[in-house]
Amino acid sequence: MRVQVAIIGSGPAGLLLGQLLYKAGISNVIIEQRSKEYVLGRIRAGVLEQGTVDLMDEAGVGQRMHAEGLVHDGTELCFKGERHRIDFKKLVNKTVMIYGQTEVTRDLMDAREAEGLTTVYEAHNVSVHDFDGAHPKVRYEQDGVTHEVQCDFIAGCDGFHGVCRASVPQDALRTYERVYPFGWLGILSDTPPVSHELIYCNHERGFALCSQRSPTRSRYYVQCSLDDKAENWSDEAFWAELRLRLDEEAAANLITGPSIEKSIAPLRSFVAEPLRFGTLFLAGDAAHIVPPTGAKGLNLAASDVRFLWQAMVDHYRGNQVALEHYSERCLSRIWKAERFSWWMTSLMHRFPDTGEFGQKIQEAELAYLVGSTAAATSLAENYVGLPFQD
């Protein structure tokens, strides 16, 4: 098979890139190690910045998102038993869209299938070759047969544990990492959300988050220890712990129900530099990871894809500038999102060394945040997504 771009990974980054390249007339194939059902079964965050919403529209897959997504004008911070609203609309005249990543992935998969584009699912032993030259190749096995894809470029959209970053000579790569000493125990339930917007809670027992997927489906998280296990938590124990971390009104209004998904996710900050190696380009979780506190994971993946899509369109029109500057343009935005995600995580969570003094400092910073237009504006402009510096 020969295409202009071989995309490794059928997550949001790979699918969004594939759709944008197709609409630009650039041939591409997606090679995915898992089944379509497995990819769709992943439960991930669901806050889309306006830039991501715009990109979904650009890709021609925004219809269901606009029909079913929930536009939020703000969010709430809960600390010392009280809730305080950060009004995005008033502070920065922007909003966010609540629309599950699973739905984003589903919409992109459906569009790809409708266009008759090729996604190879359950591709085994995927490997990337000769990306330091002009004739890169991708090889994979399926049904006992080894296949080869010849291409102009390889887009490494294969996530944190993918093959692409792992295939780069390690002396050509610099990585930066911070692993957090706690996890998030998350529950999905077919119950109405406790509030019409998200609630981020700082509590001395630990962080909690009230999120949602629709008017009838909620997503909740409580900070837990890294050696905890989801099976150690009954639904009743989860709801009781969540109530302890909420303000009185939210605790009283919380509608509980059976969990339809329960899991623990670790938290990490990670960046690989650079993002380009000859004709191999990293995008999304393959290049960076953020703790979910700032809801940046999907949005950063979309941000990389936006730069890569535009750079490849320019390349085939004879202009190499954007391709040559891909890595530095992505990293400028990546590091600002990494900083915001680290800051939100540091502010909202109970660390082993937080102690009583640290708790008072967190509460003082939160009180300053909700009492200062300047501070609240800073949070708002980072949360809704910083402008693209084109």
Task: Point out the residues that are catalytic.
Answer: 72, 200, 292, 296, 383
Site string for ligand APR, 97-136 (x = CB under 6 A): ----x---------------------x--x----------
Q: Which stretch binds ligand PHB (CB under 6 A): 16-24, 25-33, 44-52, 259-267?
A: 44-52
Given 3, 6, 7, 10, the residue binding ligand APR (CB under 6 A): 10
DSSP string, 146-157: EEEEE-SEEEE-
Site string for ligand PHB, 195-214 (x = CB under 6 A): ---x----------x-x---
Q: Does 53 sit near ligand APR (CB under 6 A)?
A: no
Distance CA 187, CA 220 (A): 5
Cβ(29)–Cβ(3) under 8 Å?
yes
Q: Does 288 sit near ligand PHB (CB under 6 A)?
A: no
Nearer CB in complex with ligand APR: 218/303 = 303
Q: How far is the CB of 178 from ligand APR (least distance, A)?
A: 16
Q: Helices 12-23 and 297-316 meet at what angle, rounded to 10?
A: 30
Distance CA 55, CA 62 (A): 9
Q: How far is the CB of 249 from ligand APR (least distance, A)?
A: 31
**Cβ neighbours of residue 202 closer than 8 Å, sequence gap 6 or more:** 77, 78, 79, 347, 348, 349, 362, 363, 366
Which does residue 28 touch among ligand PHB, ligand APR, none (CB within 5 to 8 A, set by kind)? none
- Residues of this chain, 165-194, that bind ligand PHB according to CB under 6 A: none
Cβ(146)–Cβ(156) under 8 Å?
no
Question: Pseudo-torsion of CA 10, 12, 13, 17, nearest 10°?
Answer: 80
Q: Does 245 sit near ligand PHB (CB under 6 A)?
A: no
Q: Does 52 sit near ligand PHB (CB under 6 A)?
A: no
Question: Pseudo-torsion of CA 178, 274, 12, 68, nearest 10°?
Answer: 70
Given 23, 36, 44, 94, the residue binding ligand APR (CB under 6 A): 44
Given 72, 203, 219, 262, the residue binding ligand PHB (CB under 6 A): 219
Total residues binding ligand APR (CB under 6 A): 28
Q: Which stretch binds ligand APR (CB under 6 A): 215-223, 244-252, 294-302, 367-375?
A: 294-302
Q: Which residue shows structure tokens 């950063």?
A: 300
Distance CA 365, CA 368 (A): 5
Distance CA 180, CA 374 (A): 29
Partners of residue 263 on adjacent β-strands: 186
Q: Which stretch binds ligand PHB (CB under 6 A): 48-56, 263-271, 288-296, 332-340?
A: 288-296
Of the chain, the end-to-end C-alpha distance in Å amounts to 34
Nearer CB in complex with ligand APR: 33/382 = 33
Which does residue 90 touch among ligand PHB, ligand APR, none (CB within 5 to 8 A, set by kind)? none
Given 15, 17, 31, 47, the residue binding ligand PHB (CB under 6 A): 47
- Residues of this chain, 258-287, that bind ligand APR according to CB under 6 A: 284-285
Cβ(134)–Cβ(45) under 8 Å?
no
CA-based nearest residue to 275, from 226, 331, 230, 237: 331
Q: Which residue shows structure tokens 């920065």?
A: 92
Q: Does 295 sit near ligand PHB (CB under 6 A)?
A: yes
Distance (Å) of CA 99 to CA 62, 108, 292: 11, 13, 15
Residue number closest to ligand PHB, CB atom: 211
Q: How far is the CB of 102 from ligand PHB (least distance, A)?
A: 10
Given 189, 259, 269, 293, the residue binding ligand PHB (CB under 6 A): 293
DSSP string, 30-83: EE-SS-HHHHHT-----EE-HHHHHHHHHTT--HHHHHH-EEESEEEEEETTEE
Nearer CB in complex with ligand PHB: 140/221 = 221
- Positions in the binding site for ligand PHB (CB under 6 A): 45-47, 198, 209, 211, 219, 292-293, 295
- Positions in the binding site for ligand APR (CB under 6 A): 8-14, 31-34, 39, 44-45, 101, 123, 126, 157-159, 161-163, 284-285, 297-298, 301
